[in-house]
Amino acid sequence: MSAPRIASDGSRIAFVRDGETIWLESAAKRDARPLLALGTQKIDALEWQADSKHLIYAAETGEGPSEHVFQIDVAAKTVRDLTPPTVSAARILALGDDDPNELLVQTLEGERSAWDVYRIDLKTGAARLDTENPGNVVQYAVDGELQVRAAKAVMPDGAIALLARADRAAAWREVVRFTLDDGVSTLETLSPDGHDLYAITAQGYATSRLLRYDVALRRATVLARDPAFDIDQTLLDRKTRLPIAARNDGERPGWKVIDPAWVEDFTTLQSLSSGAIRVESMTRDEQRAIVAFESDERGTSYYLYDRSSRRASFLGAQNPLLASYRLAPMQPFSYTSTDGTVVHGYLTLPPGSAAKALPAVVLVHRNPMTRVRWGYDPEAQWLASRGFAVVQPNFRGSIGYGKDFLDARDRGRAAKSAADVLAAADWAVRAGHADPQRIAIVSAADDVLAELQLRGLDYALLPASELSEERLTALLHRGLSRR
């Protein structure tokens, strides 16, 4: 199962199975049954309408930007395309809670590349333009009355500006501006009264923090931060859309609880599983929630959590077949690169092996603005099952470790990233995990691969697009070494 969603009244749960069919089950009886076959559509989002009688989903309907938004009448099993006829693509922005018949969608129209906002009446299907994009807005946020009153805009120099307005008729006003040196800056949410907006940015600090900005005074208050790792996302209250907790992008994702009412819940959830926590969906009264636990050895499992009893019941797994296999733990590690910079990464060893002097693969992730995260990694597990030690460094330029670490690669081009990759291979040898004669570096980053090739290394180098067991075996059989 994937994308499980609990109805506003808690009566039913909808989810996607095999990426092809929407299923439905009673939260009490657990009587799962298919509701709608999607055919060739690829579902991107699934939500319950606040009346608990309809589902709203977004799905790709063709090539290019072709996403449409649909409404399902659960009782009648009928589907209606809500996408305004003049637009080429639409995606869900926000659903009304107080008024269950309101929906905001972002749309692309004609040759425009900027997303506007349409307001749709879910009873009649009537749609009208609500907010026209000035041309540089890439994200919107709504207040408690489902009015678009905050936005994130990209300025001509690449800076990010957060904008606010008093109402639909008012002009946008800049609240704060972030430069390219402020890390990854995002608009998270807006308070119900529009008084405060919430953003994640590294402006003024080494790592990204969650900040609350007073729109009128343009003054910031820190809500969550970590000295070593970036805050990268928030969990929002269903009714107020205010932050409940903020996640740090550490070796294993962890949450800082902001709302005191949720402190005991997170303590309970952390005791239920060693996996990384993600809250998928909540009832309107917020007494029941669907929670996902991401595990390195089991993938994602879903539970229905009752806040009043502090108990959770298993709903299903994203990939239940994984339980039939013996998989390997993904172990965080850190090492020192050639210039003294501390770099973090993950090590996956063949399950049941002695983990000594193994053939090794250093997997280089695609960049920029990405990273390897702790959790189930199909490629790492596949390689470990074939007897390889798998080393995954988050070299300079990876997100999650603060703005200086992110920007270091830009100042040194690919050379610093390549140095970090080589230092990861050296660490694996010194730690005894890797045989120095049998190491392959497999890179999804073309510039890092090119930099390594220029250095004339004896380590086997391979583009990620050419990765196969046969190719690795042939390369490592040569007994290559740069020593």
User: What are the tens digits of pLDDT across the range 48-74?
Assistant: 999 999 999 998 887 667 789 999 999
In tens, the pLDDT along 299-353 reads: 999 999 999 999 999 999 999 999 898 999 999 999 999 999 999 999 999 998 7
Confidence of residue 477 (pLDDT cuts 50, 70, 90): low
**Helix (H), strand (E), coil (C) string for the chain:** CEEEEECCCCCEEEEEECCCEEEEEECCCCCCEEEEECCCCEEEEEEECCCCCEEEEEEECCCCCCEEEEEEECCCCEEEECCCCCEEEEEEEEECCCCCCEEEEEEEECCCCCCEEEEEECCCCCEEEEECCCCCEEEEEECCCCCEEEEEEECCCCCEEEEECCCCCCCCEEEEEECHHHCCCEEEEECCCCCEEEEEECCCCCCCEEEEEECCCCEEEEEECCCCCCEEEEEECCCCCCEEEEEECCCCCEEEECCHHHHHHHHHHHHHCCCEEEEEEECCCCCEEEEEEEECCCEEEEEEEECCCCEEEEEEECCHHHHHCCCCCEEEEEEECCCCCEEEEEEECCCCCCCCCEEEEEEECCCCCCCCCCCCCHHHHHHHHCCCEEEEEECCCCCCCCHHHHHHHHHHHHHHHHHHHHHHHHHHHHCCCEEEEEEEEEECCHHHHHHHHHCCCCCEEEEHHHCCHHHHHHHHCCCCCCC
Q: Does domain 1-133 have CATH number 1.10.10.60?
A: no
Q: What is the pLDDT of residue 44?
A: 86
**Mean pLDDT value of segment 190-209:** 95
pTM for the model stands at 0.90
Residue 195: the pLDDT is 96
Query: Which of 53, 52, 55, 61 lies closest to 36, judged by CA?
Result: 55
Nearest to 425 by CA among 408, 448, 402, 409: 448
Could you read off the pLDDT of 128-144 as tens digits, one per residue?
A: 999 999 999 999 999 99
Question: Picking from 5-9, 316-320, 360-364, 412-416, which range would have the lowest pLDDT averaged per residue?
Answer: 412-416
pLDDT at 481: 36
| C-beta of residue 244 within 8 angstroms of C-beta of residue 266 | no
Q: What is the pLDDT of residues 103-112, one digit of tens each?
A: 999 999 877 7
What is the model's pLDDT at position 98? Answer: 86
Rg for the chain, CA atoms, rounded = 24
C-alpha to C-alpha distances, 135 to 86, 110, 310, nearest whole angstrom: 18, 14, 47
pLDDT of 479: 44
Average pLDDT, the chain: 90
> Class of the 328-476 domain?
alpha beta
Q: What angle do CA 446, 385, 321 make, to 5 degrees?
A: 105
418-464 pLDDT tens trace? 889 999 999 999 999 999 888 988 888 877 877 777 776 667 777 88
Domains 1-133 and 328-476 share a fold: no
- Structure confidence at residue 408 (pLDDT): 76
Residue 148 CB contacts under 8 Å (≥ 6 apart), including other chains: 104, 117, 130, 131, 140, 141, 142, 168
What digits encode the pLDDT tens for the residues 36-49? 998 777 888 999 99
For the chain, the domains span 1-133, 328-476
The answer to whether 146 and 102 are in contact (CB under 8 A) is yes
The pLDDT of 357-363, averaged and rounded, is 92
pLDDT band at 480 (very low <50, low <70, confident <90, very high): very low
What pLDDT score was predicted for residue 448? Answer: 81
pLDDT above 70: percentage of residues in the chain: 95
pLDDT at 52: 96
Res 482 pLDDT > 50: no
Per-residue pLDDT at 170 exceeds 50: yes
Mean pLDDT of 372-387: 93
Tell me how crowded residue 439 is: count the other CB atoms within 10 A of its CB: 28
Exposure on the CB side of residue 264, measured as CA atoms within 13 A: 7
Q: Tell me: pLDDT of 25 over 90.
A: yes
